[in-house]
Amino acid sequence: MNVDAATSADIHLRVEGRVGHATLDRPQALNALTYHMALALEQALDGWAADPDVSMVLIDAAGDRAFCAGGDIQTLYHTGRSGDLDYGRRFWADEYRLNLKIARYPKPYVALMDGIVMGGGVGISAHGSHRMVTERTMLAMPECSIGLVPDVGGTHLLAEAPGFLGEYLGLTGTRLVAADAILAGFADVFVPSDRLGRVIETLIESGDPESITRFAEDAPEGKLGKDLDRIDRIFAADTVADMVELLKPDPGGWAQATLKALNHGSPLSLACTLQLIRDARASGELGTALRHEYRYVSRCMQHGDFLEGIRAAVIDKDRTPQWRHRGIGAVHPADVAEMLAVPPGGDIEV
């Protein structure tokens, strides 16, 4: 991989003051994370960890629309359609190693989550030690709608959310504003976007992530707080099919919107996501969650709905995916067990 090219074209890596500063620089693609960018970031993090002149890491992004809208799914689609399944498996394995490295980083890791934050963007921000959101933040993990599962350690984050909120967010792909992201455990503090320039300047000058608190304030009210009781009642169910049955009799707007969101996802992805979140809650270990997520993604092109989901959403944009299972109730426990079994080559090392 040409890491130098990635550094100059797609991600800007430099030391400023006592800060190792990484800026995602693909604003035309909503700063979607390419394989080259992930490798370049990991290389920089390794160097900064060993550099006594670097006190902390700061990651942000060019433009004001997105921090990172996810991984480079178009490349994954085209390589998968060509029959090259190894590219995606290598990308996911290396990306997951990066996610765990961020979570275990020996120095403060500050993520400025301004704008859209989805999928792979969550993986390089929400595992950090200091996570800022703004009034422009829109965070979501909508992977079930494209035949994937919340990955990059997303099932671990979802499992750590209050009650059964993680199941709700992972299965429906619900979008979170700043206060909701903080409530769900994906972020720590709210900073108005017009203060970000001063935050960055202060961090570079001081090398002290605690200086962020000077710029933070209470986030504008979110949407999730009032729904927690009914979320827990519905999403504590044993299966997605059971959740659907609990929602069907309720004519209310929330119930019907939730039902629509569930029916929008790949039935196989939904069933596997529920299992992965519950396994992640039982283990409590990010590394275990990443290994289990990899079991799914290693099979998702050949035996899952990923290629069809991307075709319908991104390539042809007809929004009419033909999922392998014709309905949520058509997925059997054996289907889930097959997708989440140890891969033929063994679990990945993360």
Report the catalytic residues.
71, 120, 143, 151
List, in order, residues 6 or more apart from 286 with CB less than 8 Å away.
99, 100, 103, 127, 153, 156
Radius of gyration of the chain (CA): 20
Cα–Cα distance, 282 to 277 (Å, whole number): 9
Structure tokens at 150: 């919340």
Rounded CA-CA distance 160/41 in Å is 26
- Angle value at C-alpha 147, between 142 and 153, nearest 5 degrees: 55
DSSP-derived pairing of the beta strands 19-24 and 11-16: antiparallel
DSSP codes joined into one string, 33-45: BPHHHHHHHHHHH
Counting Cβ atoms within 10 Å, is residue 320 exposed (0-12), middle (13-18) or buried (19+)? exposed
Tokens of 49: 């960890």
Asked if residue 163 lies in contact with residue 191, where contact means CB atoms within 8 angstroms, the answer is no
